[in-house]
Amino acid sequence: MAGILRKPHWLKIKLDTTTDTAAVRRDLREKGLNTVCEEARCPNLHECWSHYRTATFMILGDTCTRRCRFCAVKTGKPDAPDELEPGRVAASVEKLGIRHAVITMVDRDDLADGGAKYLAATGRAIKAGNPEITVEYLSSDMMGMRDSIAELVDSGPEILGHNVETIRRLNPVIRSRSDYDRSLGFLETARTLNGTLLLKSSIMLGLGEEKAEVLETLSDLRDAGCNLVNIGQYLQPTRQHIPVKRYWRPDEFVELMKEARAMGFDHVEAGPLVRSSYHAGSQLKELLERRRNNNA
Q: Is 1 inside any structural domain?
A: no
The residue-averaged pLDDT of 28-39 equals: 59
Q: Is residue 4 part of a domain?
A: no
pLDDT at 148 exceeding the cut of 70: yes
Tell me the average pLDDT across 1-6. Answer: 64
Rounded distance, CA 189 to CA 293, Å? 29
Which percentage of the chain shows pLDDT scores above 90?
64
Angstrom distance (rounded) from CA 213 to CA 21: 38
CA nearest 66: which of 127, 107, 33, 97? 107
Residue 223 lies inside a defined structural domain of this protein? yes
Asked if residue 164 has pLDDT above 90, the reply is: yes
DSSP string, 66-101: ---TT--SEES-PPPP-TTHHHHHHHHHHHHT-SEE
Q: Which residue range is the domain that position 145 belongs to? A: 13-295
Between 198 and 55, name the one with better pLDDT. 198
- Going 105 to 109 to 110 to 116, the CA torsion angle's sign is positive
Tens-digit pLDDT profile for residues 170-228: 999 999 999 999 999 999 999 999 999 999 999 999 999 999 999 999 999 999 999 99
Residue at 5 is within a domain: no
Predicted TM-score of the model (pTM):
0.85
Q: Given this model, what pLDDT does residue 34 score?
A: 63
**pLDDT tens-digit map of 263-278:** 999 999 999 989 776 6
**Mean pLDDT of all residues in 38-50:** 50
Higher-confidence residue of 174 and 14: namely 174
Question: Which residues, at least 6 apart from 30, have a Cβ–Cβ distance to it below 8 Å?
Answer: none
How many domains are there within the chain? 1
Express each pLDDT in 117-134 by its tens digit.
999 999 999 999 999 999
- For the segment 148-161, the average pLDDT, to the nearest whole number, is 97
pLDDT at res. 104: 92
Cα separation, 175 vs 68, in Å, equals: 5
pLDDT tier at 151, thresholds 50, 70, 90: very high
H-run or E-run covering 211: helix 211-223
> Is 3 inside a domain boundary?
no
Residue 135: CATH number of its domain: 3.20.20.70
Contact residues for 214 (Cβ-Cβ < 8 A; gap 6+): 167, 203, 205, 231, 256
Per-residue model confidence (pLDDT) at position 19: 55
Would you state the pLDDT for residue 1? 40
233-273 pLDDT per residue, tens: 999 988 889 999 999 999 999 999 999 999 999 999 999 98
For the chain, the average pLDDT equals 87
How confident is the model at residue 39, as a pLDDT? 46
The angle formed by the CA atoms of residues 162, 166 and 167, to the nearest 5 degrees, is 120
Q: Give the model's pLDDT for residue 270.
A: 95
43 vs 84 pLDDT, higher one: 84
Q: Which helix (DSSP H) or strand (DSSP E) does residue 138 occupy? A: strand 134-138
pLDDT class for 2, splitting at 50, 70, 90? very low
Helix (H) / strand (E) containing 59: strand 56-59
Is 265:228 a contact under the CB 8 Å cutoff? yes
Indicate whether 2 belongs to any domain. Answer: no
Is 50 within the bounds of a domain? Answer: yes
Q: What is the pLDDT of residue 72?
A: 83
Nearest to 118, CA basis, from 71, 171, 78, 177: 78
Name the 3-class secondary structure at 5: coil
**Res 163: pLDDT:** 97
> Is residue 33 in some structural domain?
yes
Interatomic CA distance for residues 165 and 65, integer angstroms: 17
How far apart are alpha carbons 287 and 234 in whole angstroms?
26
